[in-house]
């Protein structure tokens, strides 16, 4: 099972589930998880999920998704 925060959201409910999942994780660890390496996985997954949009943006953002 994939943690809700790491799934690419497709609906508003998915966004809320991700938000709630990471908030609960922070509560459970008293904030000690902080900016663990997992935030990079979520960031990169977001880039991949939005690659078509980012390719349409001129400038440096488009260079992020040269696949």
pTM of the prediction? 0.48
Query: How much of the chain is helix, strand and coil, in % rounded to 5?
Result: 60, 0, 40
Backbone phi, then psi, for 36, in 5-degree steps?
-70, 175
HSE-CB at 26 with a 13 A cutoff on CA atoms is: 11
The H or E element containing residue 58 is none
* Per-residue confidence in pLDDT tens, the chain, 67 aa: 777 877 888 899 988 998 898 888 888 887 776 666 676 777 777 777 777 777 777 766 555 555 4
Looking at residue 22, its pLDDT comes to 85
CB atoms within 10 A of CB 54: 16
């Amino acid at each position: 099972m994939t943690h809700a925060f790491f799934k690419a959201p497709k609906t508003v409910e998915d966004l809320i589930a991700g938000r709630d999942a990471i908030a609960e994780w922070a509560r459970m660890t008293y904030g000690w998880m902080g900016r663990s390496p997992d935030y990079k996985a979520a960031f990169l997954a977001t880039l991949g999920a939005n690659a078509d949009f980012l390719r349409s943006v001129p400038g440096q953002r488009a260079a992020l998704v040269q696949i």
